[in-house]
Amino acid sequence: MPETSPRPLRADALRNRERLLEAAVQAFSRPGPEVTLDAIAREAGVGIGTLYRHFPTREALVEAAYRNELGKLCDAAPDLLDHLPPDRALRGWMSRFIDYLATKRGMADALRLVIASGANPYAQSRDRLLEALGRLLAAGVAAGTIRADVDAGDVLVNLSGISLAAGERAQADRLLDLLMDGLRHHRAG
Amino acid sequence: MPETSPRPLRADALRNRERLLEAAVQAFSRPGPEVTLDAIAREAGVGIGTLYRHFPTREALVEAAYRNELGKLCDAAPDLLDHLPPDRALRGWMSRFIDYLATKRGMADALRLVIASGANPYAQSRDRLLEALGRLLAAGVAAGTIRADVDAGDVLVNLSGISLAAGERAQADRLLDLLMDGLRHHRAG
DNA sequence: GATGGAAGCGGAGGATCCTCCGCTACGTTC
DNA sequence: GAACGTAGCGGAGGATCCTCCGCTTCCATC
């Protein structure tokens, strides 16, 4: 229940939150190597303490900053299913997901924690990802191409593992192919 | 060529290196949550600068500290092959590898970098891991149970990804099973 | 529109990481 | 065994992370 709101945020707090998010999105999209949280707070015109109150960890900030874009990625799943056979839709979506993580520097590390912990109250993106992936898998199962005994959460974790560990894009692709083979409905040869 | 030695280390430098390694092994095996490099240097009785000179990154220190144990793991591969069919030997070895990473707190993170970069001069453990894994895969290929078109490096990266991303041991096991299915020689059903 | 209490703010400060450079002492050469 | 060039040492210090707590500002209530 991440959405319990015992009290609506005070007006100034809400304003600061918005400013922080705006600054974070900007800072994260800049090509520069790393962003210090102090810099984001400064840019947003608030104290560092305020940043940490709203976003207790770097991951929380990253998750919130990318929630929109990540949502778009999830929305793409039904579209893919409309135009492709389920297994190819699944493969395509996973590829996009990896692409997405690769472009966002520092995102993968943050997302590891987001994805890993179901208990994380800041992980509402996780639910959306799970839903999108679950839909793709279910379509494959219905079509008889994908095994029925695989958990979407496991696949999601596997994806984040690939994005974390893979060095170059080509390697990630090979690992995705391997994963797809494992997911396929087949009998031993 | 990680083993080029333009000059044999000076006596005092060698002594310091040994002390650092000893302190690091001890510190890493203590149950405590995290170890500061400063503490290791202090315990070894050398300056922090000396630590960083010998081991420029935390990963380098971790890798060196665990090189022995990791070696034993690699040595176990031939034994497994003697007693089990190749695919089960492979599965067993991968399981042990994950176990090993799980017990060593902070090891997985360090090993990610060690495994990821083939160019890392401190990654001589990587070569041993590759050799052990390659042998297991080759045996499976020879027995006709494992596909011939999979690179050992890719599998190694996949393993480190699993250990990085998987939350609980049971999940890691499920992901290993999935990986095994991908590795098996089979025809689509 | 005054007021009290709590929500929220901000930044000083402790902890850690890592670099840099003046000093020390090793070992080589004669 | 003296002396000298340099490999190696140490730790101060700058950068970042994150916490903690005294001060400020909002807003519910009257």
Instruction: Using pLDDT thresholds of 50, 70 and 90, give the confidence band for residue B56.
Output: very high
**What's the whole-number mean pLDDT along residues A107-111?**
63
Q: In this complex, how many residue pairs, one in chain A and one in chain B, have their CB atoms less than 8 Å apart?
A: 92
Question: CA separation (Å) from B34 to B27, B48, B126?
Answer: 9, 17, 24
- The better pLDDT of the pair A157, A1 is held by A157
Using CA atoms, how far apart are residues B141 and A31, in angstroms rounded to an integer? 44
What is the per-residue pLDDT for A186?
73
Chain D positions within 7 A of any protein Cβ atom are: 7-13, 15-21, 25-27
Predicted local distance difference test score (pLDDT) of residue B182: 95
A90 CA – C6 C1', rounded, Å: 50
Q: What is the pLDDT of residues A20-33, one digit of tens each?
A: 999 998 888 776 66
Q: Which domains does chain B have, with CATH numbers?
A: 9-55 (1.10.10.60), 58-183 (1.10.357.10)
B95-130 exposure pattern, b = at least 16 Cβ within 10 A, e = fewer:
eebbebbeebbebbbbbbbbbbeeebebbebbebbb
Asked whether the predicted pLDDT for residue B76 surpasses 90, the reply is: yes
Give contacts of B112 with chain A, Cβ < 8 Å: 164-165
Name which residue leads in pLDDT, A123 or B42: B42
Q: Which residues pair with A146 in a beta bridge?
A: A184
Residue written as tokens 């081991």? B55
Q: Distance between CA A167 and CA A175 in Å, rounded?
A: 11
- For residue B124, what are its two tokens? 């001589």
Which among B175, B182, B186 has CB closest to A189? B186
